[in-house]
Amino acid sequence: MKNTSNRLLLLVLLMMTVQSCWVYKFNGASIPANMKTVAVDFFENTASMVVPTLSQAFTEELKTRIRTQSRLNIIRDNADAVFEGRITDYSLTNVAVTAGEKANLVRLSITVSVKYTSTLDPESSFEQSFTQFEQFSLDNGSIQTQEPRIIPIVTKRLTEDIFNKAFANW
């Protein structure tokens, strides 16, 4: 009887595990089966405040997200889908001020205008702006010393939003 109970329990656990695999996708992506390639154009920085490394960092982060969260190959020409756009805004805004009227909390915001074109599924194509931000305290150092740490956080959020819009129907 004990052996039968153990087998039954094991079978139930196995069925629950298999069923959950069918329902859940690791990254939630729903890329068309016939889509094999994507091109990611360089995202030029046209914001009034320009960080020299931002264009390259953003473009590479978008490519990395596609490589790590999809099966798509990134190519230059004749791709099944294309990401293009530009960085339209980069701003640092004081969010909180101390009693001495000195900025203490700063918000770094980045806005990216993106055009996604799918030759295989034109209805999934879009043109949209995405904005993300991160707030940080000047108690931890100056803006200049914290920007290199904050920019990657914001670009990761932006590329996640863009990837989800293109491939997860969010």
Q: What is the pTM of this model?
A: 0.80
Q: Which two tokens stand for residue 34?
A: 């016939």
On whether the CB atoms of residues 38 and 81 are closer than 8 A, the answer is yes
Give the whole-angstrom CA distance, residue 17 versus residue 135: 40
- Domain range annotation of the chain: 30-167
Instruction: Give the residues across from 126 on adjacent strands.
Output: 116
Give the whole-angstrom CA distance, residue 56 versus residue 25: 30
30-167 belongs to which CATH class? alpha beta
pLDDT tens readout for residues 18-75: 333 323 344 456 888 999 999 999 999 999 999 999 999 999 999 999 999 999 999 9
Beta carbons within 8 Å of 100's beta carbon, 6+ residues apart: none
